[in-house]
Amino acid sequence: MDYNKLYKEKLTTAEEAVKHIPSNSRVVTAHATGEPTVIVDAMVDNYLQYENVEVLHLVAMGNCGYVRPEMKGHLRHNALFVGAGTREAVNDGRADFTPSFFYQVPKLFRTVLPVDVAMIQVTPPDENGNCSFGVSCDFTKPATEAAKIVIAQVNDQMPYIYGDNFINIKDIDYVVEVSKPLLELKPPTIGDVEKAIGEYCASLVDDGSTLQLGIGAIPDAVLLFLKNKKDLGIHTEMFSDGIVDLFNSGAINNSKKSLYPGKMIATFLMGSKKLYDFVNKNEIVELYPVDYVNDPITIMKNNKMVSINSALQVDLMGQVCAEAIGLKQFSGVGGQVDYVRGTMMSEDGLGKSIIAMPSTAAKGKLSRIVPFLDHGSCVTTSRTDVQYIVTEYGIANLRGKNLKQRAKELINIAHPDFRDDLKKEYAQRFNLD
């Protein structure tokens, strides 16, 4: 097949491509830094041509124009994860939120939320006509396979990343060519609190462990304290620049991994150009769809698996809320529970899940360890699934502990300013004098 010819036949402009989005349809856009911003913005600019189009994705890092008030009746966002650009719209009722475990999202797109249009960003085709999904394999590849129409922003600056991370040019309907730097994730600020948390978390990581780390200051702080470890491996939802530094330090070599030895496995990537250059055509990095990478049944096959994620509140029973402040949706379930469960189910029995958070929020005014979750808040990780909770004051291991022991462990790692109130609640709850 002449892939070059095929490619040229599909070339069009962003404005023309988005005319093929039908009214009364469901559009899925690629994830996070993989967002095809040029075609998404073209859809928003041309919103008057659509009626009742639902726009779905998880982390959004672009302009999020589809949540603007004037989109009413034309474009409506349904968030599977809420971020800075979509939070206000979801909490004002201009957009919707649908809870889902990350690894289940592809199944939603194959069943109850069928996809009409996938808007993706890929590399130019290789000699076999295959375009790499680059930094966003996750739900993007499965949604594309489920979609009736595929509009691709082909970007020569998208890194070419291996794994089950390709689409053939023959499966793309419209190609919009761009040459544009990818969206980048700003490095977080790591303060003393994050460093203390990072050090406690690192103390739970043995040599030869395989790691999953979430996004943000705490996971990046953990990495700072892993430099002296040996034979670490990566099997994670996503990774960022910090992993590149740890790999270059020699602490990560993936040699002891029981699943994909020698490889770093993820489902999406977010970082700066440094990360994108590192992963481009790098044979040790492979991306697979999220319904495989984040499936607890895949995760459990990794020996010495350690997952590290964060939270907004934890109650005295160990119920974790990582996604809401009262009724306000702050983020989403993401892959937290996928990894908490995958580590709990670990075949070697050595899996560990860590939820790490500062002991306070709102500049020290609120304790994150609370007697009860805020009215209206939801449980992300249940008390039955939870294992380690870490703050800058230490480590609470809740697995196998009764409710009284859990409360005591959690009070010990709460901020000292809030411990007396928590102790009063403890005494009342357990009928102690």
Catalytic residues: 237
What pairs with residue 178 in β-bridges?
A: 155
- Write the single-letter amino acid at 191: G
Shortest distance, position 288 Cβ to ligand COA, whole Å: 16
Nearer residue to ligand COA within complex by CB, 224 or 366: 366
* Rounded Cα gap, residues 54 and 293, in angstroms: 27
In terms of DSSP bridges, do strands 313-315 and 369-370 run parallel, antiparallel, or are they unpaired?
A: parallel
DSSP symbol at 136:
B
Residue 206 CB coordination number (10 Å):
14
Shortest distance, position 48 Cβ to ligand COA, whole Å: 34
Do 305 and 299 meet the contact criterion of CB atoms below 8 Å apart? yes
Report phi then psi at 393, rounded to 5. Answer: -100, 0
Nearer residue to ligand COA within complex by CB, 185 or 232: 185
Please, where are the H alpha helices in 137-272? 140-146, 192-203, 217-224, 241-249
Q: Which residues bind ligand COA (CB under 6 A)?
A: 214-216, 237-238, 309-313, 322-323, 325, 330-331, 334-336, 361-362, 366, 368
Nearer residue to ligand COA within complex by CB, 289 or 335: 335
Nearer residue to ligand COA within complex by CB, 220 or 286: 220
Residue 256 CB coordination number (10 Å):
16
Nearer residue to ligand COA within complex by CB, 65 or 335: 335
Report phi then psi at 65, rounded to 5. Answer: -60, -25
* Local structure of 397: helix, strand or coil: strand
Nearer residue to ligand COA within complex by CB, 362 or 432: 362
Shortest distance, position 148 Cβ to ligand COA, whole Å: 30
Check the CA dihedral 107-109-113-114 and report its sign.
negative
User: Per-residue DSSP letters for 100-114?
Assistant: --GGGHHHHHHTTS-
Nearer residue to ligand COA within complex by CB, 103 or 247: 103
| Rg of the chain (C-alpha set) | 22
**Structure token pair of residue 401:** 């502990």
Nearer residue to ligand COA within complex by CB, 33 or 310: 310
Report CA-CA distances (Å) from 319 to 293, 333, 385, 394: 25, 14, 9, 18
Shortest distance, position 272 Cβ to ligand COA, whole Å: 17
**Structure token pair of residue 219:** 């996971």
- Write the single-letter amino acid at 28: V
Shortest distance, position 266 Cβ to ligand COA, whole Å: 11
Shortest distance, position 154 Cβ to ligand COA, whole Å: 28
Strand ranges inside 13-161, DSSP E:
26-29, 53-57, 75-79, 96-97, 117-122, 130-132, 149-155
- Which class for 259: exposed (0-12), middle (13-18), buried (19 or more C-beta within 10 A)? middle
Shortest distance, position 39 Cβ to ligand COA, whole Å: 26
> Taking CA 67 as the corner, what is the angle to CA 14 and CA 82, rounded to the nearest 5 degrees?
110
In terms of DSSP bridges, do strands 75-79 and 53-57 run parallel, antiparallel, or are they unpaired?
A: parallel
Shortest distance, position 108 Cβ to ligand COA, whole Å: 17
DSSP symbol at 396:
E
**Structure token pair of residue 289:** 């769809």
